[in-house]
Structures are given as structure tokens and as C-alpha cells.
Structure 1
Amino acid sequence: GGFTHNPQMRRDFLKGPVFGGCAQPASEGDFITIAGEVGAQLGNMSNAWWCQIPLDQALDSPSVPTGIWCTPGDAMVQVNRFGRRFLNEKFVYNERTQVHFQWDPVAAEYPNLLSFMIYDARTATEFAGYAPIPPIGPLPPHVHTADTLDELASRLAAHLQKLTPHTGGVRLADDFLPQLKASVARFNEQAQTGKDLDFKRGQTPIEPFFHQFGPQPVLNNPHPNPTMHPLADHGPYYAVILVAGTLDTKGGPRIDEHARILDVRNRPIPGLYGAGNCVASPTGPAYWAGGATLGPAITFGALAAEHSMRNTDSNAAETT
């Protein structure tokens, strides 16, 4: 494991505010401390396997059940605290999440620190069970609902007031509601034509694939872009507050081609090997494909074992 659940390391090393992730709770960066004590060189410490996570779940327990792979829903948008869409909701999770880290130097804030995933009853039903949308039944605490967008905005504003100690005091902009309505209206117009002129939603091959990645396919969208459907002009409406999270971090001690840990002068530290999220990932900032966390871990784990055994055999022969 990496250091997803070490708040101090997250603040010190990651490229922006991260609220938790779906790594197991013991991912606290222990190997960074162990290797550092013997002079290991660190690398890739600002990167992670990024994914959005529900804020309310993360505040309850930073080790959340799952990251948001693809934002579910067709009648759904994500807006920031200004009520404006700020990303392609369907783009791949690793890149989509990093939009949360954009910094406004004039306002001295992360304008996209919080994302409000707004959807209607169609999406709540058709995409039920596709996280963070819950299965049909009682709504969990991370889902907020109201009969109108006006009432939903009011409830979100009140909820943010309670979360002030955890968000740095983020609140909805004074014109959040009219901007939200304008964002929904523009999205609805573009859903009719199937062309997202603002963020090109659904235009890369991976997006329609991930769109159908939930518990059941959704095939009854009559509009030309399967990832876009106009939001209903009446409630109920729903909202989930999303923030930046990780599958796990991917920085730590650097390794060589044998998975040996290197010191600050690029020399292998005898007997110390590493593989997986606890070391500086050979992927750098990239997420190559599905299994990009597991592939390097398995590969470099095998390389470490092979090199260690060869080294043991060599030492034994020399001793003999």
C-alpha cells in the first residue's frame, strides 16, 4: 500500500487536497519511513491513482467503499460551487479527478474543490446501484434530494455550513442557483443534439464503454449521444458531493530494473526490494489501462524474487 491514509503525507506531497480513497486503511506510508531510515531515494510522490469519491462517505471513513470510475447517469451533470459545469463527467477517472486541483491565483482558492453531481429520477432509477448512486430503497447519507432545484440548492448550502471544518469554509456562490439552472438548460439543449460543445462528453471510445459499466445496461435513451439525456423539468432531483480521492498513491522509494531500492546516489541498498503502490511507480503520472496498479506490482514482485534468489545462490556458492 501507499500513503492514502496518512493525512500528513497527503498534505505534504500530493498535488492538491485529497480527502481519502479506497485503499485499505493500513495504507499509511510505512515503507516510506522504513526505507528513508536507510537512505532511500524517493520519487513520484505527487502522483496517485486518482478517482473521485463522495465527500460525505470520506468524512465518515476516509477508506471509502469504492472510487467513482465513471460518473453514472445520462441525465446528470457535475457543477462546481459556482453552479457551472467544469469537466467532462464521463472522461476516465484518473484524468477527470485532477480537474479538482486547478488553482485560481486571483481568488486564492481551488474553485473545483467540491463537485456537485446533480441528477434526476430517471438516472436514480436507471443507474441504481452504480456508485455513488445507491440501489433502489432508502437513501444513504451521501445522497441529498429535493423536489426542485431551488430546494436542492438550499439544502446543499445548509449542508456545506455543517462541513465548514472539513472544507476550509467552502460555500455555494451567491448566484449558484441561477448558474446551475443555466448549466442544466445548456446541457439539456446539447443532449438533444448529442454534441457536448463545452467538454465533448461521450466522444472518446472509452466513455460509452464505461457508461455501461454498471449493474445493468441502460439502452432506452432515444437521444443521439448515449451518455447524454436532458434532465427532467420537474423533481425529484438528487445531488452527491464529490471530491478528489485515490485508489492509492504511487510514490515512494525508487527502484531499479530488479526492484531493488536505490539510495540517494542511485546505488542499490543491499537486501531491500519494493513493488506495488509503496514505491515510486514506473508509470509516473500515467494510468496505462485497467490493471495498471496490479501489473507493475506483480511484475516487479517477480523480478525482486528472481534477483533475490540469484543473489542468495551466488552468496551460497561463494561461501562454499
Structure 2
Amino acid sequence: MFAIADGVVEDRSAPRTYLENRLGDNFDAAKVDALLDGAPEMVEFFERKTALKFVPGAKIADIHGDTPGAGTGHRSVGPKPVSLRKLGPDVAALLRRQLYETSFLGMGIMAGPDLQAFLHSTRSPKAFVHCGVRVTKHMFDLATKRRGQQLVNGTALVGMMLRSALDLGVEIRVKTSATSLQTDDDGRVVGVRLEGPDGAYSVTATRGVVLATGGFAQDIDRRRELFPRTPTGNEHWSLTPKTTTGDGITLGESVGGRLDRTLASPVAYCPVSIVRYRNGKEGVFPHILDRGKPGVIGVLANGKRFVNEALGYHDYTLAMVEQVPEGEEVCSWLIADQQYVRYLPLGMAKPLPIPIQPYLRSGYLTRGRTLRDLAEKIGVDPVQLEKTVAAFNIGAVAGEDPEFGRGTTPFNRGSGDASNPWPNPSLAPLQKGPYYAVKVVPGSFGTFAGLVTDSSSQVLDDNDRPIEGLLAVGVDQASVMGGHYPSGGINLGPAMTFGYLAGRELAGAKTVGAHA
């Protein structure tokens, strides 16, 4: 609907072609068609019927722009920013706070113009004023409400959905876990056993049960079994809540469902760094933005680049997992020079005027007077690092990356910096010391592997027969992307779409048993 409003009319065959080329053997025509048909319906439904409102992603390009069918925009939407004051105290009582590592002083920053203003706050008077107003309002909110009131991105999405659910009389039970599914003599799922603050009890499901518990990214045993290069299950740092331990998948398996083990990857990777705070706690920072900015490269312990850093976060981490030699710690280092850290973020370290010293003192960042000095401090081959940077610089000055083709696609260039003085917005030489490094390890935004379902989200048994009364959506459902990451939002978009389709399916389903 947003694309049409902007005068863009695209036949669904183009995104379908893109997905068919990217997913390869994991392309499931029925599920992809259900997604492409259902997503516009889902957006229109929520816009029309609920408090959830969207903004267009007109400039968000598909990640692999050299693939047939790739789009340069108008295929994505995001949640519209909203005030927590408007949503009400009942929503505030239920809503998690913004993940601190992805915020600025606990304040969420909206992808798009808001983010660009913060990245250019010291280089543009207009951006400086914008940031000053945002920070001042946030400080007032902290003083009066003890939390930020401007919700953006995923927090806004959940907040508006919560408001809608409460308005419709949906009962949300917190501190309550599902312990088992209940079936009738024919094997149909007819209820669920719950454990809450007041003890155990059962709820009858007259139409069906939908599993949507957030996947298993925090299940150490499943990580050890399914994630590559994770021998103990602890060599992975997920950004998901600690409660995402695969409860829904376990419930589905208990009545005959099965986990899809055929996907290209079981996990939606993201490169992360570990932040150590003065109180002894640790945080996990996702490297979404910095990798594609001009003046930063990623290297392995051998001192060599290993991937186009401006690709998606899944691609970067997957390459790291695959290319670090067996027996070595799976990690890489993002390297930048003094010019870069003055103007752009390197992990948690923000550009001027935010001081960088706390990150140096904690060991989060490492600084070296020269590339050789830096390499010796972080355990990277110093001779090779010097060669790598020298070769990269020659190409960057010319706006080219002969080794990996960085900066050749709309997604690469969009991940860069339009104000970059060098020819390519994604490339700049590393020339001026001192030099800085941050260590990056494998993390994730969630899991791809989930319960096998049909295109209606009904869970299937070992014989590919639907288990009556049981559906799975979100990341409890095996990813329609087949373990690939072709575009932004490929977990949330399908979760919203198949959740909508499952709800529509159940609304028309025949009721079974007494009303709960």
C-alpha cells in the first residue's frame, strides 16, 4: 500500500524471482507465495483495524543487489514511532525496555533520518539541533517517568500491538509458562497446561493452539547440537531474551511435530561484541551499522579480510564461522583509524563528542600507534595486516574493492555514508593513526530452525500430515527463508504475516469442545 501511494507498482514475480535465486534448494514455493500474498494483507489489516501503524521502507534495498529480482526499495515497512504516554500505563507495565546496547543512554534511535542525524550531529547544524531536542526530551522522560517515552523500531511495534490486544480484551498472563499440550483421543490438540503464580491449571483451546515462544537461541543444548563451531553451546552470544529456550518447539515435538534440520543455517547470525560494564555485568552489542561504513574493515587472526563487510550481518558472521580454521577461536576484528572514530561509531564506542576513553580502559577497544602496534596487541599477524590495509587503501581511494566488491550494490552503498569525501560511500582508506580494533564474535537475532509446518502454519508430523489444532508461527516455525538472509526483516516480516494468516485460519475454524 505504501509503494502504490508512492507511485511504485511492482509485480510479485520480481521479489519471487529474487527469493527463488537466493534460497536455492530451500525455496518452498507454497510458503513463499503465502508470504508474498499475505504480507500486503497483513499490513493493511493492522493499519485499518489496530493501533499498529507503519512507515514505508522506500530506501531499504535487498541485501544481494546483484541477484536477479533484487529490489532497491519499497519492499519493506517499519513500525511508526509512538509515545509510551499515548499507549498508556497498562502497556508500560508490560513492555520491556529498549535493549541498552542498541540505544543511546537508553534512548531508542529510529532507523532512517533519525539515525542519520545522530551520525552527523557534529557535521550538520540541522542534525545537531535534532539530536539536542531528542536528548533533552529523553532526559526529561528519565527524570519524570524513569524510562524513555519515545518508542521506535521493535519496541514501538510491540507497544502498539500490546495496546491493540488490551483494547480487544486479550488477557496477557505474565510469569506463566506452558508445560504441556493436551490432546483428545484422535490426537487433536485441544488445550494447554500452564504453570503460573497461582499454580498449575489447564486452558481449553476450542479452535487451536498457536506456538510462538521465540525460538531456541538461548537453549545451550540445542545450540551445541545444531550450531556449527559451538562445541559446548556457550560459544554463541544471542541478543534474544534469556527465556527463548525453545519451549514451543519442545511442546510441538511432544505431540509429534519435528524440528526442520534441512535449512541452510539453523540460526539468524549477527556479529556481536561483548561489552563489560563497571558493575561487572556484560552486554552484547550487535554490529549492524559500522561494518559498512567507510574507513572500517574486518580481518581474521591471519590479518586478512575475509568477506565484503557491507553485506548483511548474517553474511558477515557466516563467513567468519566458515573461514576461521578449525581449532581456533571463531572471531574477527573490526579495524578503523583515528579519522573514522572521530565521526562514526565503532561498536559501542560513539563518535565525538562522546569520549572514547571508557571503552579503552575496559578493554572493549584496543588502540595502537601503528597498524603493527595494534596487530601485536590483539594477536593478529602484523605483517599481513599492513599488507591488507595497504591493498584496501589503494582500492578505496579509487572507490573500488577488487577483492570482495564492496560498495557495488545499492545495499552496500546505502550502508555507507553519503557524506564520505571519497568516491564510494562504503569505502575510505585507513590512513591516520592511532588505529583502533574491536573484537567480534558470533551472535544472533534468533533462530531459523523451527517446527515443520505447511503454508497455513499447521504443524506437520513425521509423515507430513497436519497435527490438528496445532499451529506454529514466528521462529517456532521453520523459516520460510530456508536458513538464508536475503533482506532485512526476514524474521519479523514472516512472523507478522504468518501470524496474521494463522489468526485468519483459526477465526474460520470449527470450534471443538466447550468454550474456555
* TM-score clears 0.5: yes
What are the residue-to-residue correspondences of 1:137-216 with 2, within 5 Å? 137=355, 138-140=357-359, 141=362, 142-157=364-379, 172=380, 176-212=381-417
Q: CA deviation at 1:208?
A: 1.0
Counterpart amino acid of 2:312?
Answer: V
1:80 maps onto 2:300 in alignment = yes
Q: What SS class does the counterpart of residue 302 from structure 1 fall into? A: helix
The answer to which of 251-260 and 282-291 deviates more is 282-291
Change (3 A) 1:94 1:239: same
What are the residue-to-residue correspondences of 1:210-289 with 2, within 5 Å? 210-212=415-417, 219=419, 221-233=420-432, 235-289=433-487
Supply the distance in 2 between the matched residues of 1:39 and 1:151 (Cα, whole angstroms): 58
Q: CA deviation at 1:39?
A: 1.6
8 A Cα contact 1:48 1:250, kept in partner: yes
8 A Cα contact 2:366 2:437, kept in partner: yes
Supply the distance in 2 between the matched residues of 1:27 and 1:114 (Cα, whole angstroms): 24
Supply the distance in 1 between the matched residues of 2:291 and 2:348 (Cα, whole angstroms): 8
Corresponding residue for 2:270? 51
Q: What SS class does the counterpart of residue 102 from structure 1 fall into? A: helix
Corresponding residue for 2:257? 40
1:14 maps onto 2:227 in alignment = yes
Corresponding residue for 2:496? 298
Counterpart amino acid of 1:267?
Answer: R
Supply the distance in 1 between the matched residues of 2:323 and 2:304 (Cα, whole angstroms): 16
Counterpart amino acid of 2:367?
Answer: T
Supply the distance in 2 between the matched residues of 1:184 and 1:42 (Cα, whole angstroms): 44
- Could you say which structure has the larger radius of gyration? 2
Supply the distance in 1 between the matched residues of 2:248 and 2:426 (Cα, whole angstroms): 42
1:27 maps onto 2:244 in alignment = yes
Supply the distance in 1 between the matched residues of 2:221 and 2:289 (Cα, whole angstroms): 26
What TM-score results when the alignment is normalised by the length of structure 2? 0.51
Q: What SS class does the counterpart of residue 215 from structure 2 fall into? A: coil
Supply the distance in 2 between the matched residues of 1:223 and 1:121 (Cα, whole angstroms): 16
8 A Cα contact 1:21 1:67, kept in partner: no
Gaps of 5+ in 2: 1-213
Supply the distance in 1 between the matched residues of 2:390 and 2:400 (Cα, whole angstroms): 14
Counterpart amino acid of 1:227?
Answer: S
Q: Percent sequence identity over matched residues?
A: 31
8 A Cα contact 1:190 1:196, kept in partner: yes
8 A Cα contact 1:48 1:249, kept in partner: yes
Q: 2:309 aligns with which of 86, 89, 92?
A: 89
Q: What SS class does the counterpart of residue 374 from structure 2 fall into? A: helix
Q: CA deviation at 1:119?
A: 0.4
Gaps of 5+ in 1: 158-171, 213-217
Counterpart amino acid of 2:350?
Answer: P
Counterpart amino acid of 1:102?
Answer: E
Q: CA deviation at 1:287?
A: 2.3
Supply the distance in 2 between the matched residues of 1:53 and 1:60 (Cα, whole angstroms): 16
User: Which portions of structure 1, spanning 4 or more consecutive aligned residues, are displaced by more than 6 angstroms?
Assistant: none
User: CA-to-partner distance for each residue in 1:124-177, whole Å, 9 max, x for gaps?
Assistant: 11113x6444342134342222222233223213xxxxxxxxxxxxxx4xxx00
Supply the distance in 1 between the matched residues of 2:225 and 2:321 (Cα, whole angstroms): 15
8 A Cα contact 2:259 2:451, kept in partner: yes
Q: Which has the higher contact order (CA 8 A, sep 6+)?
A: 1
Supply the distance in 2 between the matched residues of 1:309 and 1:227 (Cα, whole angstroms): 48
8 A Cα contact 2:293 2:310, kept in partner: no
Q: What SS class does the counterpart of residue 187 from structure 1 fall into? A: helix
Q: 2:334 aligns with which of 100, 110, 117?
A: 117
User: CA-to-partner distance for each residue in 1:181-207, whole Å, 9 max, x for gaps?
Assistant: 111111111112222111111111111
Supply the distance in 2 between the matched residues of 1:252 and 1:298 (Cα, whole angstroms): 16
Supply the distance in 1 between the matched residues of 2:421 and 2:403 (Cα, whole angstroms): 21
1:134 maps onto 2:350 in alignment = yes
Q: What SS class does the counterpart of residue 238 from structure 2 fall into? A: coil
Q: 2:509 aligns with which of 292, 295, 311?
A: 311
Q: CA deviation at 1:223?
A: 2.1
User: CA-to-partner distance for each residue in 1:265-285, whole Å, 9 max, x for gaps?
Assistant: 112222221100122111112
User: CA-to-partner distance for each residue in 1:34-68, whole Å, 9 max, x for gaps?
Assistant: 111112121156422222111556x965x724343
Q: What SS class does the counterpart of residue 252 from structure 1 fall into? A: coil
Corresponding residue for 1:160? none
Counterpart amino acid of 2:305?
Answer: R
Change (3 A) 1:64 1:207: same
8 A Cα contact 2:372 2:383, kept in partner: no
Counterpart amino acid of 1:238?
Answer: Y
What TM-score results when the alignment is normalised by the length of structure 1? 0.80
Supply the distance in 1 between the matched residues of 2:287 and 2:462 (Cα, whole angstroms): 34
Question: CA RMSD for the aligned pairs?
Answer: 2.7
Corresponding residue for 1:99? 319
Report how many aligned residue pairs link the two structures.
Answer: 287
Counterpart amino acid of 2:237?
Answer: G
8 A Cα contact 1:41 1:266, kept in partner: no
8 A Cα contact 2:259 2:450, kept in partner: yes
